[in-house]
Structure 1
């Protein structure tokens, strides 16, 4: 069993999807779960209220070294696999499911438009609409700077998960204004009431610091203790 084909596809997916569709470039995200028995890539849209909707999941069968999506047949009531043999078919499948999802979301929004207007048909606006693309980076003092333009060079990668209770993800980007690297970490905790608590942190560092950071981690891995839920 080999994950070489999985890793190759993961490395190409983000750039290919961004270039194939402007809408996906603005709204779509992907997250890699390499540790699962069948590694997978989840494709999702994140809305303003931080609500995340997964619109497609791409699985990888390491034994047969093939990608597939699962589909549910309403007629038979059974789930079957759609095998995707190459990167072009994978891109087409994700692209199609993205637009099907967004079309359904648009229909829901149009149905809710009546609630946006008051009795005089005056629009209700949100003052935060102009800063949707900004990234807030908090300092130790509790204050924050606003980074307007961060180029994310990797998708969100799952670093750790435990059952359906906790997950930690990372993604890497570059601050365009300074050229510094930025690591974005999200810790998600799912409560018994099916609520999600998110804790987001950002770590910014220069290219000159990167080597020392990597060396510090590598030289101290043996003194760290892993999380043992048992």
Structure 2
């Protein structure tokens, strides 16, 4: 298993896309997730206020050393892989996905008006460390801010050398009483930078037991991360 091809493509993608497309140069961004079982490149458009929306995800199969995109066939009801064998096809696929995404943006939303309607800054609450008790939850084109009472600190779930770490913390939504798991995947780069990918998973108390049983009942069929 080798990530050499993945690393080579990562080093060329951003500059190559910016050089072939002026629109992408202005709006497009790339995020690298090297720690996943199948490492991936996520491409997104970033709006004001750090809001972003993904338009393309490239996966890398380290065993076959090939990039692929997942597509859903609505007729057959199946997901299939589109294999991208070389850098030219990879660039074309991302470039096409970017323009398809931009072309389907039918309505331009005034972001200031959106956040005035959904977020009352005067209602922000702070924890004992002076940080805002809130979390961003996926709400479609934009994220929604919800108030959270965090009941645990960040717990280190996984780390590999000084390259990757994954942490979790648990909280309760103040409005609904549902639970929330906040996951942070951090990748430490050679230039002492940090790439972070944050996700939130919300579930009710009634769901918690079933989730725990599903995880415990399937631990033996899961594979651990093999860095070799």
Q: TM-score, normalised by structure 2?
A: 0.53
- Residue 79 (structure 2) aligns with: 79
User: Structure 2 stretches of 5 or more lacking a match?
Assistant: 114-162, 169-180, 204-228
Aligned partner of residue 97 in structure 1, secondary structure: helix
RMSD between superposed Cα atoms in Å: 3.1
- Distance (whole Å) between structure 2 residues aligned to residue 59 and residue 40 of structure 1: 4
Deviation at 1:160, TM superposition (A): 3.8
1:190 pairs, out of 185, 190, 200, with 200
Aligned partner of residue 67 in structure 1, secondary structure: strand
**Counterparts of residues 1-230 of structure 1 (less than 5 Å):** 1-105=1-105, 107-109=106-108, 159-162=164-167, 165-169=182-186, 183=193, 188=198, 190=200, 192=202
Deviations 1:69-100 (A, max 9, x none): 00001111110000000000000000000010
Q: Contact 2:167/2:185 (CA < 8 Å) preserved in 1?
A: no
- Distance (whole Å) between structure 2 residues aligned to residue 55 and residue 101 of structure 1: 6
- Distance (whole Å) between structure 2 residues aligned to residue 102 and residue 171 of structure 1: 32
Matched residues, number:
141
Deviation at 1:188, TM superposition (A): 3.9
- Distance (whole Å) between structure 2 residues aligned to residue 6 and residue 187 of structure 1: 18
Deviation at 1:165, TM superposition (A): 2.4
- Residue 119 (structure 1) aligns with: none
Q: TM-score, normalised by structure 1?
A: 0.53
Using a 3 Å threshold, how does the CA distance of structure 1 residues 66 and 189 change in structure 2: closer, same or farther?
A: closer
